[in-house]
């Protein structure tokens, strides 16, 4: 059975570099960032992606998600408090996990002078309609 080099790459197997007559370069390096267990597990029928742009010092106030959400910090650093966990500083290139129904106290752009950005993926099932719920800060 013949496997194309893309299939080999997806399977994590060595593949010969692309090259030859077409002058293509080898396949880009893939660097694992995190393995995030989704607990409790759920059936996912779609992934909704969102880019969230923060102005300097801007805060995403208290909220929760009805589905698990994974975010990738694509620009800047954030101060983050999720659930009862201690505040964390999350830097560019890192990922965060917001479990379903857990209160996200805040996501704050750690810089007062530069913008920051998140790329988020909500893991939704067929019956999931409302994915984000903003909460009253007096709660």
Tens of pLDDT, residues 48-91: 999 999 999 999 999 999 999 999 999 999 999 999 999 999 99
β-pairing, 95-98 vs 88-90, is unpaired
Calculate the average pLDDT of the chain: 87
Residues in contact with 91: Cβ distance below 8 Å, sequence separation at least 6, in sequence order:
73, 77
How far apart CA 123 and CA 36 sit, in angstroms, is 12
**Domains in the chain: boundaries:** 1-27, 45-139
Preceding amide of 40 cis, omega within 30: yes
Homologous superfamily, domain 45-139: Jelly Rolls (2.60.120.10)
- The reported pLDDT for the residue numbered 16 is 52
- The reported pLDDT for the residue numbered 111 is 98
């Amino acid at each position: 059975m013949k496997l194309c080099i893309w299939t080999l790459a997806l399977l994590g197997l060595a593949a010969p570099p692309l090259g030859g007559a077409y002058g293509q370069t080898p396949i880009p390096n893939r660097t694992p960032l995190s393995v995030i267990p989704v607990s409790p597990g759920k059936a996912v029928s779609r992934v909704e992606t969102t880019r969230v742009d923060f102005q300097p010092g801007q805060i995403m106030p208290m909220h929760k998600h009805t589905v698990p959400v994974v975010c990738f910090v694509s620009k800047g650093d954030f101060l983050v408090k999720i659930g009862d966990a201690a505040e964390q500083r999350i830097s560019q290139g890192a990922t965060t996990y917001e479990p379903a129904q857990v209160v996200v106290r805040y996501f704050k752009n750690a810089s007062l002078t530069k913008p920051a950005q998140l790329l988020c993926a909500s893991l939704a099932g067929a019956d999931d309609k409302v994915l984000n719920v903003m909460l009253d800060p007096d709660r």
